[in-house]
Structure 1
Amino acid sequence: MINHVWGLFTHPEREWQQIRTEDESIRHIYLTHTLLLAVIPPLCAYIGTTQVGWTIGERAPVMLTQASALGMAMMSYLTLLAGVAIMGGFIHWMARTYDADPSLARCIAFATYTATPLFIGGVAALYPHLWLGLIVGTAAISYTVYLLYSGLPTFMDVSAEEGFMFSSSILSVGLVVLVAIMAFTVVLWGLGAGPQYTT
């Protein structure tokens, strides 16, 4: 896994070609890649919100209780795992439109590797500061979009034109999934599952 993660940042084109030759099962992908990468943002957020906190003006740092942060971290982790599976499912479903026939496992692998910058960018949550989160988040999203558009034609073995349309479709679905997750979070918070702060 580490080799692929490093390769996606240092030589993405060559790495996509190497990943394309691998034939992994969904179980293997989750056990060796997705479960490990997806734990980074929730774990860092848990540490950042319970040990560091965030400062508003000149006030003392605001922190979450450990129980509240743990519950939110677990929900975030499960959401990330489900999000990868949902995106992999959509990629698999949409592939037929572009004359590609990848397995579901390959589509989930593609979703995992494409989201790698977002997972790694979760390290910024160790120090929950608005500007740091904004800068790292923007960089992570930008590189994720780059991996999507540059890697899909190679990984799915489609033309550059089809790859652009396919990538744009995936990006649109990803935005819809993100909005749905945010709406679901708001509903949960409204039902009393929101954060609890230390006093």
Structure 2
Amino acid sequence: MADDNPIQKSGEGIAAQAKAILTRPKQEWPRIAGRDTGWKQAFITYALPLAAIGPICNLIGGQIFGYGGYGIYYSPALMAAITTAISTYVLNICALFIVAFLANFISQKFGGKDDWNRAFKLVTYSMTAAWLAAIFGLVPFLSILTILGLWSIYLFYTGATPMMGVPHDRAGGYTLVTILAAIAVNIIFAALAGVFVASGFIAGGTMMGHGYMAHGY
């Protein structure tokens, strides 16, 4: 099917695509579904850069502002923070693929189609809100605003029918089951990330007494 999406034709890129899916998802999903592009393009040009926002912002914010509260803050050693950011980024990418696989599998249980290409793009573009909201991690005391990333759930819901062919009256159930599966995946990966964080602290020298700097604001 020919692509009538002005974003691709004008070459405005990732920012315009993010704006389109965030502000007019019901109009944008059919356009995404109609594009003759594979999942690899969405992965390389969209998922990879946006998924890096959270780890990078947390890294920078942690070094500048530290973590904590009530006037007591600590800053991880730089190497520990870098190790944590890299491991978190890699695990986030792995989780993306697993959730896309689950979205494709679960779709068939709700009357949808078996289409890995579309399932991956559904999950990828749905994650736009969560990835962009992670920018608030740059300033730790604003991290509560990452709750805005919950808009991704609505994006997934609106994309279920045009992307995966799930009947509209079953899109809510499909979304709920997929989100629950995604939460389970993230719990597992959060535990794995904790292991990397601990090893990163050791590698960064925290066990030698200079991993953190406590200071009051």
Tell me if TM exceeds 0.5. yes
Corresponding residue number in structure 2 for 1:17: 30
Q: Residue 97 of structure 2: which of 77, 85, 89 is its match? A: 85
Q: What is the distance in 2 between the residues matched to 1:5 and 1:41?
A: 16
Q: Distance in 2 between matches of 1:58 and 1:184?
A: 30
Letter in 2 for 1:48: G
Which of 135, 140, 148 is matched with 1:139 structurally?
Answer: 148
Q: Secondary structure at the match of 1:158?
A: coil
Q: Over residues 145-194 of structure 1, what are the superposed CA-to-partner deviations in whole Å (9 max), with x where a residue is unaligned? A: 1112222123223322221121111111011112112222344456x444
Instruction: Spell out the pairing of 1:55-134 with structure 2 (5 A cutoff).
Output: 55-59=68-72, 61-129=73-141, 132-134=142-144
> Is the 1:95–1:101 Cα contact (8 Å) retained in structure 2?
yes
Aligned positions, number: 193
Q: Quick one: distance in 1 between partners of 2:68 and 2:174?
A: 42
1:33 maps to 2:46: yes
Counterpart Cα distance in 1 of 2:191 and 2:170: 32
State how far apart, in whole Å, the 2-side matches of 1:127 and 1:36 are.
20
How far apart in 2 are the matches of 1:36 and 1:155? 23
Select the structure of larger CA radius of gyration.
Answer: 2
The alignment status of 1:153 with 2:167, answered yes or no, reads no
* Contact 2:75/2:212 (<8 A) preserved: yes
Post-superposition offset of 1:55: 4.8
Q: CA deviation at 1:111?
A: 0.7
In the other structure, the counterpart of 1:42 is 55
Q: Percent identity?
A: 19
SS at match of 2:74: coil
Q: Which amino acid aligns with 2:177?
A: S
The alpha-carbon distance between structure 1 residues 45 and 186, as it changes in their structure 2 partners (threshold 3 A), is: closer
RMSD over aligned Cα atoms: 1.9
* Matched AA of 1:95: S
Q: In 2, Cα distance between the equivalents of 1:121 and 1:15?
A: 20
CA 1:45 to 1:183, structure 2 compared with 1: closer, same or farther past 3 Å? same
Mark the runs of 5 or more structure 2 residues left unpaired by the alignment. Answer: 1-13
After the TM superposition, which of the residue ranges 42-51 and 151-160 deviates more from structure 2? Answer: 151-160
Counterparts of 2:101 and 2:76 in 1: how far apart (Å)?
Answer: 35
Structure 1 contact 24–106 (Cα < 8 Å) conserved: no
Q: Distance in 1 between matches of 2:148 and 2:108?
A: 31
The one-letter amino acid of 1:144's match is: S
Instruction: Write the distance in 2 (CA, Å) between the matches of 1:188 and 1:31.
Output: 25
d(CA) in 1 for partners of 2:118, 2:158 = 17
Does the residue aligned with 2:69 lie in a helix, a strand or coil?
A: coil
